[in-house]
Amino acid sequence: MPPKRWPFSLFLPRFPVISPDADLLLEIVDLHARVEDQPILKGVNLTIRAGEIHAVMGRNGSGKSTLSKVLAGHPSYTVTAGSVRYRGQDLLELDPEQRARIGLFLGFQYPIEIPGVSNLEFLRVATNARRSELAKEDLDPFAFEDLVRERLEVVQMNPSFLERSVNEGFSGGEKKRNEILQMALLEPVVAILDETDSGLDIDALRIVAGGVNQLATADNATLLITHYQRLLDVITPDYVHVMAAGRILRTGGKELALELEERGYDWVDQELAVLEVA
């Protein structure tokens, strides 16, 4: 059985590991995208380096979730301009499964239910797909079960969830924990978590956030998409970005999230109006 890689206890705050010299993992430049005929992203710029945690905040409809889906390769969205490079590679020319295999992970806001497909089989097929990219041998069902039972501890999930169909009949909190379990198995380089805190009570939020903290290392990065400060109370971001009308309007440190919590988003509208006049 592989040794545990998680050095921190569940709720210990993460130590900042950011460095301007760290590897460039994701570089988004002037990204434009639309769904059907509706432009959503209108020039997103964002750079993410190894060891960093970024939070993207903004109102409903600001383009946060669209950004996450475009990065993961959702077929409903069309990129109309701009570029995304992942470790120097053009991400946008890759299929969704290729993006996942090289280390991009999207934690879904609404994880999909797949009746009849056992969670255990799904997790094993996905893990082996990632392992083949890393030139690691496939895990047979027995070896995989050992691994998955160990990783279950990250999100304090009951092993009985492995026998059930993927996300079927799971509560909101269980679905989100299942997302973090997948993250723990796939060991992504860049994890994008789309409103992972939505629909969680405070205990489930702490478990999910604790899992994210455990999985954050100096070699990977996390992009949190959230409405609320409460997630950022337990996962400390290095950068906070405010999104509006399909672009990142302002970037700051964790204090920006506190400012949003205090002042709301009205000032964002004012800044946006000034920008649009200009």
2 or 115: CB nearest other proteins: 115
> Using the rule CB under 8 A, is 116 a contact of other proteins?
yes
Cα separation, 5 vs 158, in Å, equals 20
> Using the rule CB under 8 A, is 96 a contact of other proteins?
yes
> Using the rule CB under 8 A, is 134 a contact of other proteins?
no
| Amino acid occupying residue 28 | I
According to CB under 8 A, which one of 23, 27, 121, 261 is a site residue for other proteins?
A: 121
Cα separation, 141 vs 117, in Å, equals 15
- Considering only CA atoms, which of 158, 204, 205, 155 is closest in space to residue 184? 155
> Using the rule CB under 8 A, is 241 a contact of other proteins?
no
> Using the rule CB under 8 A, is 138 a contact of other proteins?
no
A 10 A CB-CB count for 188 gives 22
> Using the rule CB under 8 A, is 100 a contact of other proteins?
yes
47 or 165: CB nearest other proteins: 165
Cα separation, 222 vs 105, in Å, equals 9
Cα separation, 8 vs 216, in Å, equals 10
> Using the rule CB under 8 A, is 135 a contact of other proteins?
no
A 10 A CB-CB count for 137 gives 9
88 or 116: CB nearest other proteins: 116
Q: Which residues bind other proteins (CB under 8 A)?
A: 72-76, 95-97, 99-101, 105-106, 108, 111-112, 114-117, 121-122, 125-126, 129-130, 133, 165, 182, 186
